[in-house]
Chain A
Amino acid sequence: MPAETASVSANAVSSHPTQGVATRPATTMPLPGNARAFRVTVISLLGLCVLAPILLIFYQSFLDGPFFTPASKLSLEAYRYILTDAMFYDALWNTVIMAAGMVIIAVPLGAGLAFLLTRTDVRFRKTLEVVVLVPMFISAIVLAFGYTVSVGPSGFITMLSRHIFGAAPWTLYSLTGIVIVTGLAHVPHVYLYVAAAMRNLPSDLEEAARSVGAPIWRVFLDVTMPMVLPALIFATALNLLVGFEMFGVPYVLGDPSGIVVLTTYVYKLTTLFGVPTYQLMAVVVVLLVLLTLPLVWYQRRLLRHGRRYAALGGKGPRTQVMRLGRTGQIIALSFVGLWLLVSVMLPIGGIVLRAFVDAWGQGVNPLEHLTVKHFGNLIEVPSLFRGIVNTVILSVVGGAAAVAIYLVIGLAGHRNQGFSNTLLDYMVLLPRAMPSLIVGLAFFWLFLFVPLLVPLRATLISLFAAYVIVGLSYGLRLLQGTLIQIGPDLEEAARTTGASIGQTWRDVVIPIVRPGLVGAWALIMIVFLRDYATGIYLMSAGTEVIGSLMVAQLQSGAMDTIAALAFVSILLTGVGLGLAFRLGAKIHD
């Protein structure tokens, strides 16, 4: 056997050929008791859960009918249809504009916000650090609806503006409207990454720039920004990805005026022809994944680089903040305040008001028409009531179960090396390439036609399975982040004392990461709480959740009910967020 096959420890140091290699035995003995069987089983099962939906969609795209009808044959007809459909190109173009526009708005604002909150003495810093994250935790559908009721064609602000100025010079239901709303909503995503990088910067470099006479804005542009460039690039890639997969905002704001993006185009195809046109939907998804896959791959590369970078940061150098001065404070606070006003107060305020009034318009003071009757519906209509209960169950119980599953997967990859670990990395990232709407669709198909799963389709299990895959990459990153903090010595000490790897995990690893698990549970809870897209196709009597109910109600235009649902969703998110902070969750992504 050639000596080269010996290098099983693949991802070790770049193997320079030396004389030593020649005498090396043919194979490396595996480490005994390293839970190989467990790791292989878990990674294979995960592979099955991740690949099954993707492969099903891929297969479906090459058929001329639904995959479950025997008459369906292999064909490229669906590709021909989509690639010659003018609406597809329209959607593709709009998607690119939306993603790019979102990046153009979110990246500079997020970076500026990060600079203000980490490198300067801007006032109310502690409060702002929490408040600026809020848009991240609110469901996009709630946010979009919030804009509709406040600045939409018949929104409160629009009416007020018409009343006072005689006109309202904006159109929310336009591509520009969509770009601005999504851009502002994703500022926190950029802020988080850039702020993390900025906190690790030693302040003497900035102080040096100031000492040679640079004003603060020049320091920001010439010194701080170039040094956090990797974080900026990462945030850009992430936002492009999010932009390609965004569904809620373009659906709510684009649908009324016929603006489609790829995700809403897929959704429209469902109803376009009376019969399910699965093959056409599958083709769009395949094309969309071809767009997002390179971004996911690039993100993985950046992330590995980023980990090295974070490790270098270690304790974090002492940072001295820059003094803004009086004028600086006013400018900075107005900037932050304006952004908060537009991206938090406007939509949330709109929803809160809309949920409690039943009449408004030109010359009507909504405050004179306060009511709680919209909430009556939520209790009386069984499907709505079930939706709220289901959402809470899925978030609280499902979130805990998901964390348990992520923990098992995390342990399977913990201190694991070689091929199976690389495989795990990709399995975890793959679902990221698919919008959650599509993950939900794929799981719907699986639960519709895999014999064992069929009885579970109308239960929360089907929804939970899809949620676990949607939250996989975020959840696993949370858990791996806590697992990696345990010194290897602590685990090795248990092994040499006589504990098997299973006992080591039970008695040492899990007790030490317990606080991290609780924090992860709170964050996963919010992720499940705000989700609206995964459950759209999986919705049936018994599997309603707030988010998918809102999407369904939009079609029937039941604005009162939507407002009440949105209000409940915000309330639940607020509770979840409060819990997360109390439990000391570390927020990222």
Chain B
Amino acid sequence: MTELIVQNVHKYLGGLHILKGASFTASRGSIVSLLGASGSGKTTLLRCVAGLEQPENGVIKIGGKAVLDGEKRMTVAPENRNIGLVFQSYALWPHRTVAENVAYGLRLRGVNKADTEKRVLDTLGNIGLGHLAERYPDQLSGGQQQRVAICRALVYQPKVLLMDEPLSNLDAKLREEARYWIRKLVLDLEICAVLVTHDQAEALAASDNILLLRDGAVAQEGAPQEIYDRPKSFFAADFLGANNVASGRISRNASGTRIQGDGWSLDGVVLGEGEDGDGKAVIRVEQVAVHGQPGPGRIEMRLEACLFLGDRWEYRLAWGAFRAKAFGTRPLASGQVWAEIPRQSVWLFPEAA
């Protein structure tokens, strides 16, 4: 069931056009991620949905009810949008205990005391924080604060849960646990969730749908696998994953497409749009296999260095002007090696004319 519809939202700040017609939808029991570098407008878009920023144009509907309609000049205040927002800083009120923080949304909705207490303790209990109800926020660890912030935004069952970089203040290990935990919570409680993040691993692991934003516009939208495996533009290909990028000339003939550089050439598939000519190739690092012996389809390259990373080895390869990175499980001696790069993994993006 679609709970959130965002259509063609435009936002200006001074002379800057910050959001250039972003659109997306989100439904219950799923997470939509707004992914982008800083300055891409992802947080602004989220704040527009929350009603904390006022877009100049566009339509936003929450739970079937319009909360913003640029044509009708209609807009609804944040408190009347029935949303929950989790802040990057958690924004727990320092003068209130954990229980009071969580209870506030219920109190504002006129829930009676007994019910409030029960629901607060239930929600806190669900995420294993029941014993901390009487503590103040500054007595909690970062991970606990983050969970309280999510509790506070969820307890009154809002139509949409918005999360602004909720994991960025946690350390790496905690972050991996938290993204699993948040995903499970959203699926179990059938919440409609929107997650803002700059961390692609977080977006790929936690979401059902990713919106890749660039300069206030949606560069690509799709399921995590789709967006990772079939990028539509050089930007999308390069933003996600660890990549080898090479510049060269793209040419087409009967047998297929090639990209050619100084002393090297590779067969590939064209993913971007455009004519033959100058362009770029993107090859995910994990798609390059390195062997000690020649074989069918293998290209002879020079191994310049071999670095130990703990769980694997990183190879630095050179072939004419072509430079590439690859991973393997064993150390290799510098010098002659053979690399295998599947044609389907060489993504070609002709430069726009």
List residues of A whose CB falls within 8 A of some B CB.
Answer: 6-7, 9, 12-18, 20-21, 23-25, 27-34, 487, 489-490, 492-500, 503, 507-508, 511-512
Contacts and interface: CB of A to CB of B under 8 A. Distances in A.
A489 B105 contact: no
A6 B57 CA distance: 13
A323 B85 CA distance: 53
Contacts of A489: 87-89, 91
Contacts of A503: 79, 108
Given A487-B91, A490-B93, A496 B79 contact: yes
B84 interface: yes
B353 interface: no
A24 B78 contact: no
Given A33-B79, A496-B79, A499-B108, A20 B17 contact: yes
B104 A18 contact: no
A38 B45 CA distance: 28
Contact of B13 (A12, A17, A34, A487): A12
B14 A14 contact: yes
A13 B13 CA distance: 8
A493 B85 contact: yes
Given A494-B104, A498-B105, A25 B85 contact: no
Contact of A507 (B56, B78, B104): B104
B70 interface: yes
A489 B50 CA distance: 13
Given A28-B54, A490-B93, A500 B14 contact: no
A512 B94 contact: yes
B91 A18 contact: no
Contact of A511 (B20, B70, B80, B95): B95
B109 A498 contact: yes
Contact of B54 (A30, A493, A500): A30
Contacts of B20: 20
Interface residues on B, range: 35 or more
B14 A495 contact: no
* Most chain A C-beta atoms within 10 Å of own C-beta, residue among B57, B88, B95: B95
B83 interface: yes
B264 interface: no
B185 interface: no
Given A494-B104, A496-B79, A498-B105, 11 more contacts: A17-B15, A20-B20, A21-B12, A23-B17, A28-B56, A29-B70, A490-B94, A495-B52, A497-B153, A498-B109, A499-B108
Contacts of B75: 29, 31-32
A497 B105 contact: yes
28 contacts: A6-B56, A9-B14, A15-B14, A16-B14, A16-B15, A20-B16, A21-B15, A29-B73, A31-B51, A31-B77, A32-B51, A32-B76, A489-B88, A489-B89, A490-B91, A492-B50, A492-B91, A494-B104, A495-B51, A495-B52, A495-B78, A496-B79, A496-B84, A497-B84, A497-B152, A498-B108, A498-B109, A507-B104
A21 B17 CA distance: 8
A83 B93 CA distance: 61
Contacts of A493: 85, 87, 91-93, 152
B349 interface: no
B72 to A, nearest CB: 10
A482 to B, nearest CB: 14
A232 to B, nearest CB: 34
A15 B78 contact: no
Nearest to A503: B108
Interface string B59-99: 00000000000100101111111111101110111110000
5 nearest interchain CB pairs? A33-B77, A20-B17, A489-B91, A496-B85, A493-B91
A6 B54 CA distance: 13
Contact of A492 (B13, B15, B52, B104): B52
Contact of A24 (B52, B56, B76): B56
Contacts of B95: 511-512
A493 B80 CA distance: 13
B70 A25 contact: yes
Contacts of B57: 25
A13 B79 contact: no
A500 B109 CA distance: 12
Contact of A500 (B79, B84, B105): B79
B52 A20 contact: no
Nearest to A10: B14
B13 A9 contact: yes
B80 A33 contact: yes
Contacts of A9: 13-14
B156 interface: yes
Nearest to A504: B79
A29 B54 contact: yes
A175 B50 CA distance: 65
Given A507-B104, A508-B93, A512-B95, A496 B13 contact: no
A493 B87 CA distance: 8
Contacts of B108: 497-499, 503
A500 B52 contact: no
